[in-house]
């Protein structure tokens, strides 16, 4: 069922993003007087189609991952002399720039609309209160302590752990000190300087909070199982949903996190458990299996989960804006995420971020499925972020992508004449090689994560 949900989620996400992208090209092309021959959602043989009064064919094709807009163009086939003025290649360079740029801009517009909807509907976040600070960590040396609420990072206000992580990731490569502001209770904000060197450089994947020695505050979660995965060590040991873990090797278990830490530290070791079930105590033997993480660390895994608990009201924060105020917030969030994406690409090119952070269709499908199961709010937020990523990637100056065409047209503006067909053909081959290499790398890292 999880695999089916992941596949359906990625089809919906990519289908919506690419359709919106292609509609941007289509809408501007129509207004520039270009004849659009086909608007296809998906590739391959059409399973449904119809024509409008402009003789444009609208089609839904069999392969749902993609889409395209086909315009009248003398470079792609013969054009009736009576319709030559409707061909894309006969439009001014500024019209061609507008048509090509409209696709990525449509993705940014979709992100703004998605964030606007989230801000108007309201989002519930967790107040970023520190739970623990690791001894001799950058956070400890900077004076951070348990119970403090983080209010700003690098001088910019934050309201949630998500915003804090975004600000910290944006500082990858920093040397010297990170500025973090906190307050405790109703006191005045206090600024801290956290010493860092080559901050998160080539860390795979980047883990901002653990690297600083910060553990967010969480409510105590009772060690009561909510689910047990068939075929995994927990089920083999006889554990069932509803069981409460009382002791492990004679040590009392106070909460779920303590039990998790013991399991993770005990791959292949037999643990003697005492559990409470239906008012009675039972003794069971559990042997966690070894699970190797991406950083090659080996931890214990048993295949069991715990029920979520409600956060205390004082640790919950609702972020909501009126329809007009939400516009500014949505534009600001889209701009922030765009800058973060561009900066991440730059840092990957100069070696500050490992290329293993590239994600391909498998990772996108998994995250799409996870966010869909987490609720509409998470799904819309992921949709907005992926739309921004698609817009940024399409604007890269690589032939084959929209950014490559824009580069040719800007050269044409400067030179006063189009780039030669030969130069464009060479660029096309280079672009295909680059994009193909990136796709293969992303798929490779996807498979490594899956493995």
The DSSP bridge partners found for residue 124 are 318
The backbone torsions φ and ψ at residue 184, rounded to the nearest 5 degrees and listed phi first, read -125, 125
Kind of pairing between the strands at 225-228 and 244-248: unpaired
Stated as kind and residue range, the H or E segment containing 167 is helix 161-169
DSSP assignments along 396-444, one per residue: SS-TTSHHHHHHHHHHHHHHSSPPPHHHHHHHHHHHHHHHHHHHHHHHH
Gap between the Cα atoms of 245 and 276, Å rounded: 7
- Residue 344: which of 383, 396, 406 has the closest Cα? 396
Locate 85 and state its tokens: 């003025």
Locate 48 and state its tokens: 């449904």
- List 22, 76, 156, 421, catalytic entry: 22
Return the exposure string of 43-64: e unless at least 16 CB atoms fall within 10 Å of the residue's CB, then b: eeebeeeeeeeeebebbbbeeb
Gap between the Cα atoms of 99 and 106, Å rounded: 11
**Beta-carbon contacts of residue 51 (< 8 Å; ≥ 6 apart):** 57, 58
22 catalytic? Reply is yes
**Beta-carbon contacts of residue 47 (< 8 Å; ≥ 6 apart):** 60, 61, 62
Q: Are 304 and 297 in contact (CB under 8 A)?
A: no
Distances (CA, A) of 212 to 133, 161, 165, 255, 399: 9, 14, 11, 24, 41
Kind of pairing between the strands at 289-292 and 190-196: unpaired
Q: Are 363 and 211 in contact (CB under 8 A)?
A: no
What residues are labeled active site? 22
């Amino acid at each position: 069922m999880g695999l089916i949900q992941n596949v359906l989620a990625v089809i919906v996400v990519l289908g919506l993003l690419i359709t919106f992208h292609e509609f941007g090209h289509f809408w501007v092309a129509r207004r520039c007087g270009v004849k659009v021959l086909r608007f296809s959602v998906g590739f391959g043989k059409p399973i449904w189609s119809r024509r409008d009064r402009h003789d444009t064919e609208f089609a839904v094709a069999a392969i749902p991952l993609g889409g395209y807009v086909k315009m009248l163009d003398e470079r792609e086939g013969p054009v009736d002399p009576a319709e030559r003025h409707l061909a894309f290649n006969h439009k001014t360079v500024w019209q061609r720039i507008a048509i090509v740029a409209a696709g990525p801009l449509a993705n940014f517009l979709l992100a703004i609309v998605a964030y606007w909807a989230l801000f108007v509907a309201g989002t519930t976040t967790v107040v970023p209160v520190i739970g623990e600070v690791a001894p001799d960590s950058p956070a400890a040396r900077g004076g951070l302590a348990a119970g403090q609420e983080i209010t700003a990072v690098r001088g910019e206000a934050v309201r949630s752990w998500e915003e804090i992580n975004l600000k910290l990731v944006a500082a990858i490569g920093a040397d010297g000190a990170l500025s973090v502001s906190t307050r405790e209770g109703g006191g005045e904000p206090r600024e801290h300087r956290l010493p860092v060197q080559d901050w998160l450089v080539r860390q795979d994947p980047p883990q901002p909070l653990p690297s600083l020695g910060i553990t967010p505050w969480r409510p105590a979660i009772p060690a009561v199982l909510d689910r047990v995965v068939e075929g995994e060590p927990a089920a083999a040991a006889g554990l069932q949903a509803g069981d409460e873990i009382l002791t492990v090797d004679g040590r009392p278990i106070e909460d779920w996190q303590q039990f998790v830490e013991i399991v993770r530290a005990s791959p292949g070791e037999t643990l003697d458990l005492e559990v409470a079930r239906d008012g009675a105590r039972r003794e069971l033997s559990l042997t966690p299996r070894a699970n190797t993480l991406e950083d090659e660390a080996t931890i214990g895994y048993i295949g069991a989960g715990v029920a979520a608990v409600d956060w205390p009201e004082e640790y919950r924060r609702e972020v909501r804006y009126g329809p007009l105020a939400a516009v500014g917030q949505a534009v600001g969030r889209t701009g922030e995420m765009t800058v973060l994406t561009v900066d991440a690409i730059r840092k990957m090119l100069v070696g500050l971020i490992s290329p293993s952070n590239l994600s391909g269709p498998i990772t996108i499908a998994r995250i799409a499925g996870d966010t869909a199961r987490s609720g509409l709010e998470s799904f819309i937020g992921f949709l907005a972020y992926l739309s921004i990523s698609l817009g940024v990637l399409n604007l890269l100056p690589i032939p084959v992508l929209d950014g490559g065409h824009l580069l040719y047209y800007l050269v044409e503006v400067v030179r006063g004449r189009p780039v030669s067909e030969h130069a464009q053909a060479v660029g096309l081959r280079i672009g295909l090689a680059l994009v193909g290499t990136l796709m293969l790398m992303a798929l490779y890292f996807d498979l490594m994560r899956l493995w």
